[in-house]
Structure 1
Amino acid sequence: MWMADQRANTRPNVVPLTEPKKFIPEPYSQAGVLEPFNQVKLTQALRRESTQTASNAALIAPEMTRRKEPLESFPLDAMEMVGSLNKTGTPTALLKVDNLIYQVKVGNYLGQNYGKITGITETAIQLREIAQDATGDWMERSVSLDLQEGKK
Structure 2
Amino acid sequence: MLRRIFMQSKKIILSVCVLSLMACSNSDFSDLDDFMAEEKAKPQRPIKPIPPFKTYKAFSYSATGLRSPFEKPVEVGEITRLQASSNVKPDENRTKEYLEKYGIDALSMVGTLEQGGTLWALIQDSDGGVNRVKNGNYMGRNHGRVVETAENYVAVVEIVPNGVDGWIERPRTIKLQVKE
TM score, norm. by length of structure 2:
0.51
Residue by residue over 1:23-61, the C-alpha shift from the partner in whole angstroms, topping out at 9 and shown as x without a partner, is xxxxxxxxxxxxxxxxxxxxxx7xx94x75443xx4215
Indicate the residue corresponding to 2:35 in structure 1.
none
Point out the structure with max Rg over C-alpha: 2
Q: Distance in 2 between matches of 1:54 and 1:67?
A: 26
Q: Distance in 2 between matches of 1:52 and 1:81?
A: 31
Structure 2 counterparts to residues 10-21 of structure 1, below 5 A: none
Indicate the residue corresponding to 1:38 in structure 2.
none
Q: Which runs of 5+ in 1 are unaligned?
A: 1-44
Read off the aligned partner of 2:116 and give its amino acid letter. T
Alignment length (residue pairs): 102
Identity of aligned residues (%): 34
Q: Does 1:74 align with 2:102?
A: yes
Q: Which runs of 5+ in 2 are unaligned?
A: 1-77
Match of residue 93, structure 2, among 53, 65, 68:
65
Q: Which is strand-richer, 1 or 2?
A: 1
Q: Does 1:101 align with 2:127?
A: no
Q: Does 1:85 align with 2:113?
A: yes
Give 3-state SS (helix, strand or coil) of 2:89's partner.
helix
Q: Distance in 2 between matches of 1:136 and 1:77?
A: 25
TM score, norm. by length of structure 1:
0.60
